[in-house]
Amino acid sequence: MTLTRRFALGGLLTLTATTVLGGSPLTAPAPPLRPEGLQGPMRLGDAAGGASDLVARANVSGQTSVILIDPATGETLDQFSPMTALPPASVAKTATALYALETLGRDFVFDTTLIATGPVSEGTLSGDLILAGSGDPTMDTDDLLDLSRQLAATGIRRITGRFLIWDGALPYAAEIEPGQMDHLGYNPSVSGLNLNYNRVFFEWAKQGSGFTVRMDARSEKVSPAVSVARMQVVDRDAPVYTYAENGDFDDWTVSKAALNDNGGYWLPVRHPGLYCGDVLRTLAAADGVTLPVAERMSAPASGQVIATVRSAPLIDIAKDCLKYSTNLVAESIGLKATAVRSSTPRSIAESAGDLNDWVLARTGSAITLHDHCGLSGASRCSSASLAQMLAAPNVSDLLEPILKTIPLTDDKGNRITGPTEVKAKTGTLNFASTLAGYIHCQSGRTLAFAIMSADLDKRQSAIDSNAEIPAGARSWAGRARRLQQGLLQHWGAVY
């Protein structure tokens, strides 16, 4: 099995954790774009009166907030309850991308380094070896393999001191949004050292009456075993997974009844810095370098840099973040921007507060985000505030080229070809659906829009039920997306 960094974002390590081997039931899929057999009461093109008529026909329970703005004139062309504040979900990532790009610059890169604190003689480093991160959210095992080979090329074969990790460039968070199920891969930890989007691969295979299990940090080139995350198969029907923090170890159990003969699943890592150190130690051993077990250090590293790997430019990271809606990436680039603008924030929530203040000063738009990725259901903004941000001077020049194209579809879900083009960001939580961006209309005008729907009562019931996919969530999301399609197609033709 091979895993490229881009495939990791688009497949195995998507916003939603996904079973990739063996057809196991251990999945947390996002609602599909169009559930099969969905027959809503609204047919596209039926309404000619704009947002009010389309919302009335859409049969989307809860509240909806819609606005269409001409950035050239500031004129509001269409609207429905535009000031109603609802959860933006992953559309929050547009604000984060703008914040990071304008603060750090398009060409900013994250560095991850190996630092030696003493001299090298006859293959021995007399001192400590430090693995120091700057917050790169995209580092994978192949990058650590590169560091290991650079280390071996220096001639170092052993060290007299400690193997240390510095992960304090960003504040540590055990998970992005507390209170969610422990095994959800889209809610990992965050730190100044991140690896494989802070997920570890759990693989199992039937052997006699039991199972063999393996936890590894697989990548395109290698699959090193991991010791800081451990798994035990237990005889029970439910829950599927349990998690316990045991010092520096992540201890998992999985229901034997839930496993097929063989399969695999990406699980979140709660100690990403130690995870990086664990994997690099294994890779270095294969390259002939003996390192002790990694330890965390509490102060920034100093010494001689002997190996470095760098991320892609920020503009590419931000584009992939918006395309694949990767929560860890949004948190990391948002936290990094805050750290550069002022000082390292104490928490994700504190940094999100700085982001809110910056958006207000930069665009005049008032938003209330509690994180940088939109995973928090407590975040709120209105369609008017989202569209105002998108329509602010020079914002479209930066954001539109990195937004993904949203295809227009007919009532059967088939793509529609034509002159209307939409570049936007989607956002989905249980019983919350948002779409915001830019529409190039048939007339040639480019307009900014935001469409938000949420049923907050059903969201709360879903949270209370502790269900990954609550009853009715998929059909509700399907109706919300059909409303979005109806609005986009109406606007494209009329304006």
Q: Quick: pLDDT tens for 19-49.
A: 322 222 232 222 222 222 223 333 444 445 6
Are 327 and 377 within one domain?
A: yes
Are 186 and 293 within one domain?
A: yes
- pLDDT tops 50 at residue 244: yes
Residue 304 confidence (pLDDT): 96
Hey, how many other C-beta atoms are within 10 angstroms of the C-beta on 400? Answer: 16
End-to-end Cα spacing for the chain? 49
Amino acid at 126: S
d(CA 299, CA 166): 7
Among 256, 289, 311, the domain boundary falls at 311
pLDDT in tens, 182-231: 999 999 999 999 999 999 999 999 999 999 999 999 999 999 999 999 99
Residue 218 confidence (pLDDT): 97
- pLDDT tops 90 at residue 349: yes
pLDDT in tens, 3-13: 333 333 333 33
The pLDDT of 360-369, averaged and rounded, is: 98
Residue 48 confidence (pLDDT): 54
Amino acid at 473: A
Residue 9 confidence (pLDDT): 36
| Residues 403, 134, 249, 377, Cα dihedral to 10° | -40
CA distance readout (Å), 274 to 112, 170, 342:
15, 15, 27
Percent of the chain residues past pLDDT 90, beyond the cut:
84
Where does 308-465 have alpha helices with state H? 314-324, 327-341, 348-363, 383-391, 395-399, 456-465
CATH number at residue 428: 3.40.710.10
Are 4 and 62 within one domain?
A: no
Are 325 and 286 within one domain?
A: no
Are 66 and 163 within one domain?
A: no
Mean pLDDT of the chain: 90
Least-confidence region, from 57-66, 193-202, 205-214, 462-471: 462-471
Q: Say if CB 95 and CB 367 are below 8 A apart.
A: yes
pTM of the entire structure? 0.90
Percent of the chain residues past pLDDT 70, beyond the cut:
90
Residue 192 confidence (pLDDT): 97
Q: How many domains does the chain have?
A: 2
Among 267, 294, 311, the domain boundary falls at 311
Are 205 and 340 within one domain?
A: no
* Domain span including residue 162: 1-24+110-311
CATH number at residue 116: 3.50.80.20
More confident residue, 8 or 240: 240
- pLDDT tops 50 at residue 151: yes
Residue 290 confidence (pLDDT): 98
Helix, strand or coil, per DSSP, at residue 481: helix
d(CA 403, CA 395): 12
CA distance readout (Å), 196 to 30, 81, 143, 219:
21, 41, 10, 8
More confident residue, 464 or 332: 332
pLDDT in tens, 274-312: 999 999 999 999 999 999 999 999 888 789 999 999 999
Are 41 and 134 within one domain?
A: no
CA-based max dimension of the chain: 81
Are 42 and 152 within one domain?
A: no
pLDDT in tens, 74-126: 999 999 999 999 999 999 999 999 999 999 999 999 999 999 999 999 999 99
Are 71 and 142 within one domain?
A: no
Confidence of residue 413 (pLDDT cuts 50, 70, 90): confident
Are 280 and 389 within one domain?
A: no
Among 247, 280, 311, the domain boundary falls at 311
- pLDDT tops 60 at residue 60: yes
Are 238 and 250 within one domain?
A: yes
Are 14 and 63 within one domain?
A: no
